[in-house]
Structure 1
Amino acid sequence: MKTVWKWVIGIVVTLLIMLGGIVWYFSVHWKPLLDQKFKELVIASTDSLYTVDYDDLDINLALGNVTVSNLVLRSDSNVYRQLEEIKKAPDNRFQIEVSKLKFRNFSIKDMLMNKELYLKNVVLDTPIIHMINEYHSYNDTASTEVKKPLYDKIKNTLKRIQISGIALNGVNFKYSQLQKNIYQDFELKKVNIKIQDVLVDSTSILDASRFYHTKMVDIEVPGFTYKTSDGFYKIDFEKLKINTKKRNILLTKVAYQPLLNKAAFYKAKGKGGSYVVMKFDTVRFESFDFNDLIRNKKVYAAKAQLKNGRLDIYSDKHYKSTPLNKIGRSPHQALLHMKTHLAIDTVLVQNADISYSELSDKYNQVGKITFDNSYATITNMTNDAVNLAKNKWMRVDVITKVMNSGRLHVLFGFDMTSKAGFHTYKGTVGSMQAPAFNQILRPLLNVEITSGNIKKIAFDMEANDHRNWGKFNFDYDDLKVAILEKKEDGTHKRKGLVSLLVNELLVNGSNPNLSGEYIIGKVNWQRHPDHTFFKTLWQSLLDGIKQCVGLSKQREAKLMRSADRAQHTIEKANTVVGKTKSFVSKIFKKDKDKEDKEDQKEK
């Protein structure tokens, strides 16, 4: 019996030795074949633009494992320049370095004999990816040439590639943009990428559930900071997560903000403009079309969400800007003229605080207006011609608190196909106390509201690039204002008698007024070419307010010219009656003459 076991053991050992020898033999002698196939595959799949080199190719035939050491994938600069000459060069090219590239459960026999590559997983340890972007205008236009699918490029080498999973651990990614021979870089470090179920065969390109032949790509970027090319701003986020299976993108702690404080910012620029800080806790895209992004450079999503944010805009009026024609540059027109095709069904802005601050060059004080706890819904946000042919209107529904007090609800409608920039806006402001606006009136206009009860504001406006027109309703009572003057110590005091006369003779204390007349503002505001969309909107609404409170254009112009010198006129008079007559005659003489002439015409 012992002799039998000796024979059995001997046979098994002999077979193992023979198998080991065969494995060793094929590992050694198939290595050149595998090396050749690997390099052929890279060249075929990239149309000869890329080549691959490595230090060592270690094969364990028994386990089906292959390890490639110090692999480098690089673009061939000569081929790239040739593609540029025939206007077929891509905007992006890559160089990839991997210290260890590991293939597991790799069937060399299937690859060499059947032209089929099966892998359980692929691991890339600490790869370095350098992406170079070089803009070519011909890539902006739609090409009539049909691009070959990946399978058609590799089918002569492999008929099928199937990989269960790919892991890229600790990726260092560098992006370089080359414009007019000037490089601009940013880097992402310690990026983790997981890819599931890769399939490349004659049918995989038709599988709509796959993104670039994969069932899922999951990317996690731990943090990012990018300085803009002008050196004034930076963009950063805490974390970025992308999942192509769930079709979503998530960014946390997103910020766009200046690198300098306000004083240094304007000193460095040497001219006017806005100082902008924008932050959001969460930015999320849902049902994102990654295939359209890769194939057609289109950004399509069902929903975008911006949550818990702030937008602060500041302007120092001591610094002047060169006047620029803003006609045709409103936000909706800027969207329409974007090079990137964009279509987002719904954009939700949730709980954002918005403020505009201005440092007056005349009074050297900062005025501020705020819109607190803002919520907005934007629908049909698109510049895509196909989408706009179905629905030309982009709608914006905004609910906020003005000065953290009155509830403002505005509905915007933008005709995205209008060459004249036609749009509408209508809304209401709920009850609030008028002195809440002193935070912006006192520093910028040297005027304050001492009392006023706003019951309701309602407006219904239409507009285009050149004019805003419509109806403005303003219901209020107990409105009183004060004209201020600055003292030597920097504080302000009210011009008492001037303020009294303004309230008695210029401003309607209520609407309806004491005579029961209800005044409706009929706005017809001509846009100044160098005024922005939002400045024009505000001036149009302000015109409606002025009409309702009794400040006609003639009265307003006369008041602005006379208010500063009125006190001097009053002080020269000897009696109260003299003071009143002197001031009133200066302000209303021309208006009275005009009214008399109009009455004469009517008669």
Structure 2
Amino acid sequence: MKPIWKWVIGIFLSIVVALGGILWYFSRNWRPLVEDKLAAVVKNSSDSLYRLTYDDMDLNLALGNVTLTNVKLVPDSVIYQQMETAQKAPDNRYDIRLKSLKIKRFGILDVLRSRKLNIRSISFDSPDIHVIHKYHSYNDTLARPPRKTLYESFKDVLTSVNVQDIQVDDVSFKYTKIDQGKSSDVSLKNIQIRVHDVLIDETSLADTTRFYYTKLVEVAVPGFTYEFSDGFYMAKFDELKINTRDQNILLTNVHYKPVMDRTAYFKKRGKNVTMTTLHFDTLRAEKLDFQKLVENQQVIAEKVQIKDGSVHLFGDKRFPKTPVNQIGQAPHQKLMRVKSLVRLDTVIVENIDVVYGEMSGKFHREGTITFDQASGRLTNVTNDSSALKTDKYLRADLRAKIMNRGNLHAKFAFDMLSKNGAHSYSGSVGPMGAPAFNKVLYPLLNVQVASGNIRGVRFHIEGTDHRSWGDFRFDYNNLKIDLLDDQGQKKSKRALSFLVNQLIINDSNPDANEKYHVGKVNHRRVPEHTFFKNLWESLLDGIKQTAGISKEREAQLMGTAAKAKNTLEETENTVKKTKSFIKKLFKKDEEESGVEK
């Protein structure tokens, strides 16, 4: 090797050693400076409420890496009590702990030259996050100076911070709510979070393409189970996915169900309170405004999808039901009373089976009515009064198979600004066999349809909180019903069934005289009946009229049927008495003649 190359290599190695020594010196001597700045940023941004601690800091300026181990961001309980006394305490406190925090490839030269911090990646190892919520009424009523933004907290040190990627693995999250001295917890585990392109500078917070300084936040929660404090219900899902860039939320295999079986449920309730079970394979929200959701708890989205599932409602009339005034409790009226703003452009329902079951208090049998494969859409689902001034109607257009037979198509229109609950609904049912309704008629009413063909149903009803009115058309033929006794047999009720079929109902519409009966619904609501029960009773009013049963005729003919029943019973009693008299007479003759038995 020539001498000149020896000099070049020697000089190069000397430079490397010198730079290494300088970087080593700065790494050791910058550590106190970095620690002081970190502590100052945390203190200033939280009004001294939080303290940042860690066991060790490994700072390598040459590679631009920093590693903190056993990191803790904890609230100071003494400071918090002082803030409560001064009515300045926030509703939420955060206790955050993690095994390690790794910052890779930060540009030290950019910090020195322009006070800009650029970081390639940050990773959090096994964070344990505990959020403690304690409501303070003064946070709603007192005017407060605006809190410092994140940028304002460090602008004296840095002009901007940019992080390309943040990875948070295996997060444990716990939410504790303290209310009147009692606490309740919700816990999630194994959460994965990925954040892309974080920019904190003077203008980024106002950037509408960013969600809290970020271009993308992805969250994946592998599962969740929560039992409600009332001890009756639980909620669970298999997976939750959040994507702030696409503005989507996806929940899979969602359940809301009782934690006990029906027998235990109603025994514990001690009264007839509807038992509700919900299951949906997919719940999705698209174009959801995460900013409004986080800041103001407002739910604003272009589309919500509910797909593949079931709704089961069950009542038990063997238990008492406490009468409650239901005026003003229709679904659209309840939506208007929700405190937080809700604005959903479209809610799409796909393939949902709706089942209502009821246990008869008299016959102790369960009857069910089903609306299978329900699908459709709801539009303008909102309680936003300003938006409702432009269009005040929430509309629903739904289709299903009633009793898994006839095609049902129903449309609803709810006047969201009405003071008296104004609404309307119209619809139709396609051809189906009437005996399909025996699943609800026999268990609950001890009546069954012997035969009958429903050719079609059409209706249009308008209503308020107190009354419903409209037209009901019911085309059918060959309708016969059987009245049954308590053992479900029709033999002893054959005469009554005959009277009802011959005198009370028309076996077809148009009837035998070719007269077509149109139901003119004019139903006055019973205040204790729910919105949906009132809807059914209004339709039932139309069904009776189209079957030829006016209220006067029903009362008159039912009186005739009762009279006929009494006559039959009297006849049977007379026969029994006659048989008994003859039997006794023959017995007396036998005794007098000395005939042995």
Question: TM-score, length-normalised on structure 1?
Answer: 0.90
Match of 2:241 in 1: 241
Choose from 524, 535, 541 the match for 2:533.
Answer: 535
The 10-residue stretch of structure 1 (72-81 or 402-411) with the greater mean CA deviation from structure 2:
72-81
The 10-residue stretch of structure 1 (556-565 or 365-374) with the greater mean CA deviation from structure 2:
556-565
**Secondary structure, in 3 states, of the residue corresponding to 2:485?**
strand
The 10-residue stretch of structure 1 (83-92 or 203-212) with the greater mean CA deviation from structure 2:
83-92
Q: Distance in 2 between matches of 1:387 and 1:142?
A: 29
Larger Rg: 2
Q: For the structure 1 residues 574 and 67, does the alpha-carbon distance in structure 2 shift closer, same or farther, using more than 3 Å as the test? A: closer
User: Quick check: 1:93–1:131 contact (8 Å CA) kept in 2?
Assistant: yes
Match of 2:595 in 1: none
Return the offset for 1:67. 0.5
Q: Which amino acid aligns with 1:547?
A: Q
The 10-residue stretch of structure 1 (343-352 or 79-88) with the greater mean CA deviation from structure 2:
79-88
Q: For the structure 1 residues 274 and 574, does the alpha-carbon distance in structure 2 shift closer, same or farther, using more than 3 Å as the test? A: closer
**Is 1:48 equivalent to 2:48 in the alignment?**
yes
User: Quick check: 1:218–1:243 contact (8 Å CA) kept in 2?
Assistant: yes
Q: For the structure 1 residues 22 and 565, does the alpha-carbon distance in structure 2 shift closer, same or farther, using more than 3 Å as the test? A: farther
User: Quick check: 1:405–1:432 contact (8 Å CA) kept in 2?
Assistant: yes
Q: Distance in 1 between matches of 2:132 and 2:561?
A: 63
Q: For the structure 1 residues 137 and 569, does the alpha-carbon distance in structure 2 shift closer, same or farther, using more than 3 Å as the test? A: farther
Q: Distance in 2 between matches of 1:556 and 1:43?
A: 81
**Secondary structure, in 3 states, of the residue corresponding to 1:318?**
coil
The 10-residue stretch of structure 1 (151-160 or 84-93) with the greater mean CA deviation from structure 2:
84-93
Q: Deviations over 1:171-220 (max 9, x none)?
A: 11111121112111121111100000000111112211100100000001
* Structure 1 runs not aligned, ≥5 long: 576-603
**Secondary structure, in 3 states, of the residue corresponding to 1:390?**
coil
Query: 5 Å matches for 1:22-421?
Result: 22-84=22-84, 89-108=89-108, 110-111=110-111, 114-137=114-137, 146=146, 148-421=148-421
Match of 1:518 in 2: 516
Q: For the structure 1 residues 128 and 558, does the alpha-carbon distance in structure 2 shift closer, same or farther, using more than 3 Å as the test? A: farther
User: Quick check: 1:486–1:492 contact (8 Å CA) kept in 2?
Assistant: no
Q: State how many pairs are aligned.
A: 573
Q: For the structure 1 residues 94 and 473, does the alpha-carbon distance in structure 2 shift closer, same or farther, using more than 3 Å as the test? A: same
Moved over 6 A (4+): 141-144, 558-565
User: Quick check: 2:56–2:69 contact (8 Å CA) kept in 1?
Assistant: yes
**Secondary structure, in 3 states, of the residue corresponding to 1:486?**
coil
Match of 1:8 in 2: 8
Q: For the structure 1 residues 541 and 81, does the alpha-carbon distance in structure 2 shift closer, same or farther, using more than 3 Å as the test? A: farther
Match of 1:471 in 2: 471
Choose from 484, 494, 497 the match for 1:496.
Answer: 494
Q: Distance in 1 between matches of 2:333 and 2:87?
A: 31
Q: Distance in 2 between matches of 1:141 and 1:462?
A: 42
User: Quick check: 1:165–1:197 contact (8 Å CA) kept in 2?
Assistant: yes
Return the offset for 1:93. 2.3
Q: Which amino acid aligns with 2:525?
A: R
**Secondary structure, in 3 states, of the residue corresponding to 2:546?**
helix
Return the offset for 1:440. 0.3
User: Quick check: 1:226–1:235 contact (8 Å CA) kept in 2?
Assistant: yes
Return the offset for 1:307. 0.6
Q: Which amino acid aligns with 1:62?
A: A
Q: Distance in 2 between matches of 1:143 and 1:276?
A: 43
Q: Distance in 2 between matches of 1:565 and 1:233?
A: 50
Q: Which amino acid aligns with 2:505?
A: V
Q: For the structure 1 residues 108 and 338, does the alpha-carbon distance in structure 2 shift closer, same or farther, using more than 3 Å as the test? A: same
Q: For the structure 1 residues 139 and 381, does the alpha-carbon distance in structure 2 shift closer, same or farther, using more than 3 Å as the test? A: farther
**Secondary structure, in 3 states, of the residue corresponding to 2:202?**
coil
The 10-residue stretch of structure 1 (188-197 or 126-135) with the greater mean CA deviation from structure 2:
126-135
Match of 1:18 in 2: 18
**Secondary structure, in 3 states, of the residue corresponding to 1:30?**
helix
Return the offset for 1:516. 2.2
* Structure 2 runs not aligned, ≥5 long: 574-597
Over aligned residues, Cα RMSD in angstroms? 2.2
Q: For the structure 1 residues 527 and 112, does the alpha-carbon distance in structure 2 shift closer, same or farther, using more than 3 Å as the test? A: farther
Q: Deviations over 1:18-71 (max 9, x none)?
A: 222211111111101101111222233334332211111110111010001111
**Secondary structure, in 3 states, of the residue corresponding to 1:454?**
strand
Q: Distance in 2 between matches of 1:381 and 1:281?
A: 22
User: Quick check: 1:452–1:479 contact (8 Å CA) kept in 2?
Assistant: yes
User: Quick check: 1:495–1:567 contact (8 Å CA) kept in 2?
Assistant: no
Q: Distance in 1 between matches of 2:220 and 2:324?
A: 42
**Secondary structure, in 3 states, of the residue corresponding to 1:573?**
helix
Match of 1:509 in 2: 507
Q: For the structure 1 residues 134 and 31, does the alpha-carbon distance in structure 2 shift closer, same or farther, using more than 3 Å as the test? A: same
The 10-residue stretch of structure 1 (183-192 or 148-157) with the greater mean CA deviation from structure 2:
148-157
User: Quick check: 2:92–2:131 contact (8 Å CA) kept in 1?
Assistant: yes
**Is 1:481 equivalent to 2:493 in the alignment?**
no
Return the offset for 1:478. 1.2
User: Quick check: 2:500–2:561 contact (8 Å CA) kept in 1?
Assistant: no
Q: Distance in 2 between matches of 1:26 and 1:172?
A: 36
Q: Which amino acid aligns with 2:512?
A: L
Q: Distance in 1 between matches of 2:485 and 2:21?
A: 102
Q: Distance in 2 between matches of 1:437 and 1:204?
A: 62
Q: Which amino acid aligns with 1:331?
A: P
Return the offset for 1:517. 1.9
